[in-house]
Structure 1
Amino acid sequence: MTTPDPALYRPCVGVMLVNAASHAFVGKRIDNKEGDFWQMPQGGVDEGENPDDAVLRELWEETGAQARHVEVVDRLPRELFYELPDELKGKLWGGKFVGQRQTWYLARFTGGDADIDLEAHEPPEFCEWKWIEPRLLPELIVPFKREVYRTIVEGFAGLV
């Protein structure tokens, strides 16, 4: 398998945030009107930003979880790529990218549910959130990201 050209894919981080019960955080995106899809926190890496810093920033922006409530456990050894479906290409990220290349982290949430605040950052990404068993993650994500989610679940299985 050949690696896609990284320049065509938006640099991104994502985090599988797990609680004391080993359940993963998922949020329902505000902007997805096409179905009942849920995803883990993820987002772009800013120009010049280190992915290790970006993951904590994105986690706070999307969940309100502060760094003091998060223990980063591990990171997958390679970036994961996904391509947008044809109907979305050219519409997202100013049409500059065909998909995303993602660095995925596993983190333990040491706070309580009251420390989750979907409106900590404007505009919010999620309208609802819940904790689920990690094995269910690929079933809840939009179809074009399912293979990435399978890889994440498998990659962190022994650590969750």
Structure 2
Amino acid sequence: MSEYAHLPYRPCAGVMLVNRDGLVFVGQRLDSVIEAWQMPQGGIDPGEDARDAAIRELGEEAGIAPHLVEFVAEAGEELQYDLPDDLIGRVWRGKWRGQRQRWFLFRFLGEDADVNIQTAEPEFRAWRWVEPSDLPSLIVPFKRDLYARILEIFAEPLAARDVPFG
């Protein structure tokens, strides 16, 4: 058992944002030295609704305005991951052992020009659209199982990608 098992999980909201072609938005973190891409995610403020936090994170990380997304689905379970021990002291000032996340699937109603990662406090150095099935291979290894589970949870709405958009 990890020496950090006593630490709590950070409450977080995550967003799977799908465009008209059924591709998923990912960003490459500024603070990562490895070639890792992830979906937008971030902390839920005390008293904040998880879905509101997800929409806020889309704005903070990708510059996407709330009116450019449409809610599709919410994961029916909370997901969590543990940070590797060597990261715990360096991330979040050693306050959390990992994250417990509420995930939401949104449809992107805008155009690529509506994405702007040069936000007030940028978190991504680059962004792109990817096939959903590519997600686990793009994320850092300690989040791969979580991303695989997200794909299982949202499999049905993702499979409906050939349904007319809008």
Native 8 Å contact 2:26 2:37 kept in 1: yes
What's 2:13 paired with?
13
Q: CA deviation at 1:94?
A: 2.1
Q: How has the CA–CA distance of structure 1 residues 63 and 6 changed in structure 2, closer, same or farther, with 3 Å as cutoff?
A: farther
The 8 Å contact of residues 6 and 101 in structure 1, kept in 2 or not, is answered as no
- Runs of 5+ in structure 1 lacking a partner? none
After superposition, the Cα gap between the structure-2 partners of 1:109 and 1:149, relative to the gap in structure 1 and judged at 3 Å, is: same
User: What are the ranges of 5 or more consecutive residues in structure 2 without an aligned counterpart?
Assistant: 159-166
Native 8 Å contact 1:106 1:156 kept in 2:
yes
Give the equivalent residue in structure 2 for 1:28: 28
Runs of 4+ residues deviating >3 angstroms: none
> 1:128 pairs with 110, 126, 129, which one?
126
| Separation in 1, partners of 2:137, 2:78 | 21
- Provide the rounded CA distance (Å) in 1 between the counterparts of 2:29 and 2:18: 19
Q: 1:7 to 1:72 in 2, by over 3 A?
A: farther
Aligned residues: 154
Question: 1:71-97, CA deviations, whole angstroms, 9 ceiling, x for partnerless residues?
Answer: 011110111010000101122212111
Write the distance in 2 (CA, Å) between the matches of 1:13 and 1:159.
19
Question: Deviation at 1:52?
Answer: 1.4
**Paired residues for 1:71-90 under 5 Å:** 71-90=70-89
Answer yes or no: is 1:38 the counterpart of 2:37.
yes
Output aligned runs, 1:138-149, within 5 Å: 138-149=136-147
TM-score by length of 2: 0.89
1:110 maps to amino acid: L
1:158 shift after superposition: 1.0
CA distance in 2: counterparts of 1:32 and 1:46, whole angstroms? 24
User: What residue is the counterpart of 1:156 in the other structure?
Assistant: 154
